[in-house]
Copies of this chain bind each other. A is one copy, B any other.
Amino acid sequence: MEKGKVLERKVFYAGQKVFGEGDSGDRAYLIQEGSVEISKHGLVLATLNKGELFGEMALVDDQPRMATAKALTDVSVVIIGRDSFREKLAKADPFIRGLLNIFVRNIRNLTR
């Protein structure tokens, strides 16, 4: 991704995997069109639609993906890269940054 550029669009076709549990990840996805299924150990956790975000944990830490994301229909997404997000975050209040880290750590602990 071009430096300083925050948004990039991408299309996934019905049935295509966006990412798999355990993969490394450095970006989040905002759904512009279509439906995405989030699953873990083969169990469906959520079906997400237009306007919803997934893969957002990777913006805050660099742990492996907790779940698998698969396009249920043809899906158009906007990609939010971690590096671009961190430039945004660097300008935020340090307390807010700390809070994001705490929430992400708690979510990882809860799903372990």
Beyond A106-B107, A107-B106, A110-B107, whether A88 also contacts B95 by CB under 8 A is yes
Q: How many chain copies?
A: 2
CB of A100 within 8 Å of the partner chain: yes
CB of A69 within 8 Å of the partner chain: no
Q: How many residues of A contact B (CB 8 A)?
A: 23
| Interface contact B96-A92, CB-CB below 8 Å | yes
- How many angstroms from the CA of A110 to the CA of B107 in the assembled complex? 8
Quote the shortest CB–CB distance from A47 to chain B (angstroms). 14
Quote the shortest CB–CB distance from A21 to chain B (angstroms). 16
- How many angstroms from the CA of A92 to the CA of B104 in the assembled complex? 18
CB of A43 within 8 Å of the partner chain: no
- How many angstroms from the CA of A103 to the CA of B89 in the assembled complex? 16
**Interface contacts beyond A106-B107, A107-B110: sample of 9 additional A-B pairs, CB < 8 Å, sorted by A:** A80-B95, A88-B96, A91-B93, A92-B96, A96-B100, A99-B100, A103-B103, A107-B107, A110-B111
